[in-house]
Amino acid sequence: MERPAWAPQGIDLSVPSVSRIYDYYLGGSHNFEADREAARRAMEVFPGLPKIMQANRAFMRRAVRWAVDQGVTQFLDIGSGIPTFGNVHQVAHAASGEARVVYVDNDPVAVAHSRAVLEGEEHRTGVVSADFRTPGDILGHEEVGRLLDLKRPVALLLVALLHFLEDSDDPWGKVAELRDALAPGSLLVLTHASVEGGPRKPEEGAEVENVYRDIGSPLVLRSRRAVERFFDGFELVEPGLVAMPDWRPDGPADQEDPVVFTGFAGVGRKA
């Protein structure tokens, strides 16, 4: 298999990656045949995944603009993936010249491509190769220290990330560890996959979970109650934990494809 020039040495092109599968859903070009094959299998059992991912990105952009409107101009985006048009730094910098963004991911392709995209922006953006499961490595990283002042409010973005962590990883504990390091007034911005309250049946959810399990990246579709637990220590801002198109929409949400009402989105503020 020919290795593209942008692919870092040392990665196995035959092993799918959730960030590169996500890139494929969004119409990106930084993915390999193994990623595309896994994505096609997931789309067969759970139609509409690309539209769900687009709704996820649209929510993220609205949340970033809202955060800046609230005076929060520091962003820590963990599980940031491969930059696509309208990524956090573009939205944040368009809203405020003061905005500072640190991207964190554990996928070498996502990290390498982020660094390439952000060349020349180092004074206000940074990229960290680290894993959400080790919050201390993220919080103590020199790029975080260089760009973010943790004594001031930070928007912590965990967008389409937590459903790739099993209960045994204690994602709630990891979120709490990050929360405790952030200043009062900080924001938690998250989305999470679920079939509760949406148009997809539980058996369809089970089938897509199986696809991801087969590629070695477990997907956990959690209940509303389990997702709400991530906001312990945060106060959910209006309209609360809702389907992605229902969170402060720019236009009438009822004109959206029903499939995009799959999963939950919310923003919380630390007291």
**Residue with structure tokens 């995209």?**
117
**According to the model, what pLDDT value does residue 255 have?**
67
**CB neighbours (10 Å) of residue 34?**
18
Decide if pLDDT at 242 tops 90: yes
Q: Identify the CA nearest to 103 among candidates 114, 95, 90, 93.
A: 114
Decide if pLDDT at 85 tops 80: no
**According to the model, what pLDDT value does residue 252 have?**
77
- What does the pLDDT average to over 222-244? 98
Domain range summary for the chain, segments of one domain joined by +: 55-199+222-270
Decide if pLDDT at 152 tops 90: yes
Decide if pLDDT at 254 tops 70: no
The reply to whether CATH 3.90.1150.10 applies to domain 55-199+222-270 is no
Mutual orientation of helices 202-214 and 33-45 as an angle, nearest 10°? 160
pLDDT confidence tier of residue 5, bands split at 50, 70 and 90: confident
Q: Mean pLDDT, the chain, as a whole number?
A: 94
pLDDT confidence tier of residue 76, bands split at 50, 70 and 90: very high
Rg (CA), the chain: 17
**According to the model, what pLDDT value does residue 8 have?**
79
Please state, in angstroms and rounded to a whole number, the distance separating the CA atoms of residues 192 and 215: 20
For 219, left (φ over 0), alpha (ψ -120 to 50), or beta? beta
What would the pLDDT profile of 20-61 be if each residue is shown by its tens digit? 999 999 999 889 999 999 999 999 999 999 999 999 999 999
Decide if pLDDT at 169 tops 70: yes
Q: Give the 3-state secondary structure of 192-243.
A: ECCCCCCCCCHHHHHHHHHHHHHCCCCCCCCCHHHHHHHHCCEEECCCCCEC
**According to the model, what pLDDT value does residue 74 have?**
98
First CA to last CA across the chain, in angstroms? 52
Please state, in angstroms and rounded to a whole number, the distance separating the CA atoms of residues 166 and 212: 12
Higher pLDDT, 250 or 237: 237
